[in-house]
Amino acid sequence: MNYSNILFEQKNHVGILIINRPDKLNALNDKTLDELHDCFSSINNDKDIYVVIITGSGEKAFVAGADISELNKLDKDSAKKFSEKGQSIFYSIENLGKPVIAAVNGFALGGGCELALACHIRYASDKAKFGQPEVNLGIIPGYGGTQRLTRLINPGRSAEMILSADIIDANEAYRIGLVSKVFPADELMNKAIELAEKISSKGQIAISLALKSVISTEELTDTEGQKLESDMFAYCCGTEDFKEGTSAFLEKRKPNFKNS
């Protein structure tokens, strides 16, 4: 994969995607969004990649938002397409069927915070900063932020962040449940890779169905979600991995999952 604004590398079964416009604090311009879309389509088709990590290039930013020089040119019609395009790409990240970890290494503002929100797990460096400062520009979040942030933290906190445009630090993000863990900056990537390797070592059918069940809470009622969970649970019990996992426990050995 050869891109101008993102870098992609694979270590074992882990794909590492780096947004790479450090001179613009990794702001998401249209080309970067297209490359993200293309890269995630390839990841989706690549059976050898089990887990994805997204981070930002340089020491300062994860992603400092949508590119304001492009935003500035929008009118009412083009703005609708702009928002729908970003929403659709972030939806496809959330629904990739493989875990996506955001390793938030610096500013995650506007579309950058929304990108982190579309990931399944967020780890942050102690230098990370989060915010939805769109109202400072006379707009509102347009890549799913009003929805995902509100579900993840709570309506009051989400409204406070979005309406005040305040930027919060990593410890505050941890306190309100926006990120799972905070690490010293130089440990962040290793910790994200460690988690990705741990997830990669499990049976991937169970991983993808567990993820599907967790994500389903976004769209299903509790009754529908419980049904989906029991369908997925039953499906797992028909796999070789289930036989291997339970037998390995009983035989006091490590399981050797074949993802079948």
Positions 151 through 170 that interact with ligand COA (CB under 6 A): none
What is the C-alpha to C-alpha distance for residues 30 and 39, in angstroms, rounded to an integer? Answer: 14
Q: Is residue 214 at the binding interface for ligand COA, with CB under 6 A as the rule?
A: no
64 counts as binding ligand COA under rule CB under 6 A? yes
Instruction: Confirm whether 84 is a catalytic residue.
Output: no
Under the criterion CB under 6 A, does residue 114 sit at the interface with ligand COA? no
Position 237 contacts ligand COA (CB under 6 A) = no
The two structure tokens encoding residue 33: 């969004």
Minimum CB–partner distance for residue 68 and ligand COA (Å)? 4
From the CB of residue 231, how many other CB atoms can be counted at a distance below 10 Å? Answer: 12
Taking CB under 6 A as the rule, does residue 39 contact ligand COA? Answer: no
Residue found by looking up tokens 């449940």 in the block: 177
DSSP for 49-77 reads --EEEEEESTTTEEE--B-HHHHTT--HH
Residues paired with 16 in a beta bridge: 9, 53
Does position 145 interact with ligand COA (CB under 6 A)? The reply is: no
Exactly one of 9, 35, 94, 114 is catalytic; name it.
114
Q: What angle do CA 17, 94, 221 make, to 5 degrees?
A: 165
Query: If 0-12 CB within 10 Å is exposed, 13-18 middle and 19+ buried, where does residue 125 land?
Result: buried
Q: Which of 15, 110, 144, 203 binds ligand COA (CB under 6 A)?
A: 110
Residue placing its CB nearer to ligand COA in the complex, 99 or 110 = 110
Query: Which residues are identified as catalytic?
Result: 114, 134
Footprint of ligand COA on this chain (CB under 6 A)?
24-25, 27, 64-69, 107, 109-111, 133-134
